[in-house]
Structure 1
């Protein structure tokens, strides 16, 4: 395995936001857009600034992530950039003290150095949009000012990075280098996010100059040279340039986006061919996010086909019960989940990017299956990435029964999944609600508020979901408003749902996996309650019904298996290097049960009184009982996700 294969990509999910249909990001006002969408869109994202998460585990994760973002010193984050520009070299005998370099993937000897500052710029902008806290804007402004100074000092046609241009030249020449365009993408994304969410005009100026450098660098290349360059991981560079084009309308930015069209990866998908076996998963996923953006901005039908086919292929044939995918960062043969229950499964960046692609598809066709997958992956994989005790995050989510998660460090890791985590846990408000021309979609049951300014309506959601099955919605408006509410009827709610408006029952004729449409004139203070009873269910591996996970409603349950013989120092591991996962000793101690009865499996799992979302196995032939809790809660210990049914 070569080093350059071990990582992933992150960029912000880009979907239409509000009417009129010129948009780029969820959470962005349309006055920053200059390119209209070329395709019809059925659902629009709300501006992220208009959604507030009020309490609950998502709010808690977001607050921990925000504290981490604010704790990282600007001088340490800027250090490698200034070294590259010759700005951090004190004269001999100078009393100036150099900042302590960051470690892990941000070390000065790492070819990916600089990627984290792009993620951090995005995370700060998202936190500012999500909370309105000026501390996030001030820190983002400081980083942008520092990057502008570095760009000016480098004086290389707009080039900006923590490494020299020779890395890009090596990539163009198809010689060995980790993934410089991947790292460059993070800067493009982060700076664009600073403009989009924090209204930082200097960030747009910097990224526009970077694009001018890229155009000058790449436009003379032949198609053969470009395709060789694109064999190396480049993150979402196509996506980044489509997004910049949406803002600027500059045709050079559209041309740049199309220079990152990777034929070998995308042409088979356009033809409906699953070419994912053995492919590095998170090299692929961002390319399809870019394809989705291409379709929206240009009407490219091939791009739509590729993005849609890819999503369905991954979700239906390559996805574990928690919504993640990949083993040792790679896809494998379709429908072989039970053969890949290892300690190196479920790279978190993959899921982050799958959620971005999911948002695109939902806006084109607002179907419950897209919202359902989003819920599955958000509650089980993304929410569970962060250790509540420390705020640190994991790279992989092991599916091997009896394995356990390893976590990052505050300033000595900076893996790709640390960077995408800066964003994941800062933008939980992006997919709770959508709207069409008439009404609001309620997709997720998260305590929150959404303000639809154009309609003069605020919707307040109160719930303890998933610890309770009921969510309460209050309509706040100054005057009666005629509009529909589209309430998601989850596919897992097979026991039926109940609905009341102002205390009066409403007949529900829809079926699980659809939307309940409430068309009425809403008056100030109207309230509704939707109850979706949750039941235990088996989630079998897609190739073996005798290997299955257990879920309660949408929540995947993990069997708690203790801390015996756990290596590494919880909550961190040392050295803080994800490569340690490959070959890490996941030897499972003797005595950890991994088997449940095949007959009447669910009847032998009982709720624990007084402990919400907690269950216990009750085997008839053994004294060994295993407690099960939501996977997102089970940290710093071994666990069982998939059971053998005998």
Structure 2
């Protein structure tokens, strides 16, 4: 079942129930369960984790993300049934808004942030005019419950609190969507609020100086906060925020696994910490908070790609796409959600125990965003960032242009494009050549050499007068390669082919020479094999792993 179909099938009454309950209104329909319910069952005692009960943790927390994801589907497809559901949800939600919802609420900034993006997307993508008034109304309702500044968790701990969970609120993520509301013309108040919650002293100032304050910080929310820096740069023009976003993202890349995932146990690490990642291979199964992490990663990488046109950001998106979220287990109708990717030496795929956690919302948003991540436009240039079967319809200087992309990449090394302009016209097609691409990579136009080099780590520009029926062929040179865990542990390696990490199947230790690792050969779709000292070892990309045991890393033996 697709993410879209799943959420279209959820009854409005279930989605709206916690809001109606907290407003004192009739609340028909079944409970959603898990985090989503309005329940007094939630209990968290850091001194006795055996008593934890997550039921009712954050009532209605992901509603805004569900509305956002459905609205983005409308933008991508024009589907009227989805548009109608978005409108119904927004109109009915607006009837429940009052300060009562946020009174005594554990994470008011966290849930308000998600409601903001849901209402923004309903307004701009689904054309729901009522979302504008609803945004003003919920902002009035939440303000008495928000802190006066973007408190860090350490600062929040210095203030009175009744539950450990109150420490986990994330006001420092608010500026991104508040700036977006302001940029859409929804009111000056949103710019003012956004500026109030910029975490300059604790986060953006040191990042802008090239210093990392990330060690020990909650992983997803602080990577996602880099998107607030991007929006602050757009809104204010202050280069500090762009430097902070770029440096912060680089610090994240430095501590990433070969898959592109990061934040084991939802914690970031420092730039000089070379041991934590290694220890997590034997100490945790919670390696990467996948739907949330991939969603935040895609947003910041996409923005930096748009601003800088540096293809390494596209390389990063591609790596996260194929090695994390595309291999996630589907959300089930009862709310079981894939949450963590497991990169341990005894890894498996599993659902989080609690129903409808945060990743249920970002999974839907991310699934709707593939199109905007695949292509970028700037003037007469069309950038192809992701090689996925798709069709782009756009216009250049008033003339329509359609580009159809056909490929089985990365299982196949060839990508085919059919260019169909409404009339002959000149523009540039920019193809991202991954940094790992080998020297035999080639570009053809109408079966002839394009005369443009496929230089790794660059965009190849095909600037010409295009006519209907023109064909472009990109052939990437893909060869196996090894990547170490980090510079301190070159003997701990992952095997990649193109953007795909190949995971050894089984939990038994794997130690091979470089030649043995690189002897890997494809045996079929999603199935590779290498010759090890103990016999043939099967390896698979993440998306092809089902319930079998696997591991991410092996050891490099001396030749």
TM-score, normalised via structure 1 length: 0.76
Residue equivalent to 1:319: 256
CA distance 1:117–1:465, change in 2 (3 Å): same
Deviations 1:330-359 (A, max 9, x none): 012334432322311111112320210111
Alpha-carbon distance in 1 for matches of 2:258, 2:513: 18
1:79 corresponds to 2:7: no
Q: Please provide the CA RMSD for this pair.
A: 2.5
Residue equivalent to 1:376: 319
Partner residue of 1:558 out of 503, 508, 513 = 503
Residue equivalent to 1:257: 194
Alpha-carbon distance in 2 for matches of 1:264, 1:366: 29
What are the residue-to-residue correspondences of 1:454-465 with 2, within 5 Å?
Answer: 454=396, 455-465=399-409
Contact 2:327 2:544 in 1 (8 A): yes
TM-aligned CA deviation for residue 427 of structure 1: 1.8
Residue equivalent to 2:90: 144
Alpha-carbon distance in 2 for matches of 1:222, 1:276: 19
Alpha-carbon distance in 2 for matches of 1:340, 1:222: 34
Alpha-carbon distance in 2 for matches of 1:293, 1:595: 45
TM-aligned CA deviation for residue 462 of structure 1: 0.9
TM-aligned CA deviation for residue 217 of structure 1: 6.7
Alpha-carbon distance in 2 for matches of 1:234, 1:223: 5
Gaps (5+ residues) in structure 2? Answer: 40-55, 160-166
CA distance 1:389–1:141, change in 2 (3 Å): closer
TM-aligned CA deviation for residue 271 of structure 1: 2.1
Alpha-carbon distance in 2 for matches of 1:540, 1:225: 34
Deviations 1:438-463 (A, max 9, x none): 21111111111111124411111111
What are the residue-to-residue correspondences of 1:52-71 with 2, within 5 Å?
Answer: 64-71=2-9
CA distance 1:631–1:282, change in 2 (3 Å): same
Residue equivalent to 1:99: 29
CA distance 1:477–1:274, change in 2 (3 Å): same
SS in 1 for 2:207: helix
Partner residue of 1:360 out of 259, 282, 303 = 303
CA distance 1:431–1:256, change in 2 (3 Å): same
TM-aligned CA deviation for residue 389 of structure 1: 9.7
Alpha-carbon distance in 2 for matches of 1:472, 1:186: 38
Contact 2:414 2:473 in 1 (8 A): yes
The total of aligned residue pairs comes to 520
Alpha-carbon distance in 2 for matches of 1:242, 1:404: 40
Alpha-carbon distance in 2 for matches of 1:127, 1:420: 13
TM-aligned CA deviation for residue 302 of structure 1: 1.6
Residue equivalent to 2:211: 273
Residue equivalent to 1:622: 534
TM-aligned CA deviation for residue 507 of structure 1: 3.2
Contact 1:234 1:283 in 2 (8 A): no
What are the residue-to-residue correspondences of 1:590-605 with 2, within 5 Å?
Answer: 592-605=507-520
Deviations 1:85-118 (A, max 9, x none): 11127xxxxxxxx422111111222241111211
TM-aligned CA deviation for residue 434 of structure 1: 0.8
SS in 2 for 1:511: coil
Contact 2:483 2:495 in 1 (8 A): yes
CA distance 1:375–1:603, change in 2 (3 Å): closer
Task: Indicate the structure whose relative CO is greater, using CA pairs within 8 Å and at least 6 residues apart.
Answer: 1
TM-aligned CA deviation for residue 388 of structure 1: 9.5
1:185 corresponds to 2:113: yes
Alpha-carbon distance in 2 for matches of 1:389, 1:470: 34
SS in 1 for 2:340: coil
TM-aligned CA deviation for residue 132 of structure 1: 2.3
CA distance 1:469–1:389, change in 2 (3 Å): farther
1:512 corresponds to 2:460: no
Alpha-carbon distance in 1 for matches of 2:172, 2:129: 25
Deviations 1:370-427 (A, max 9, x none): 1100111111112112349999642111110221121258xx6111111111111122
Moved more, 223-232 or 372-381: 223-232
1:493 corresponds to 2:423: no
Residue equivalent to 1:576: none
Moved more, 540-549 or 261-270: 261-270
Alpha-carbon distance in 2 for matches of 1:273, 1:401: 32
Residue equivalent to 2:343: 399
Gaps (5+ residues) in structure 1? Answer: 1-62, 90-97, 168-176, 562-591
Alpha-carbon distance in 2 for matches of 1:517, 1:185: 39
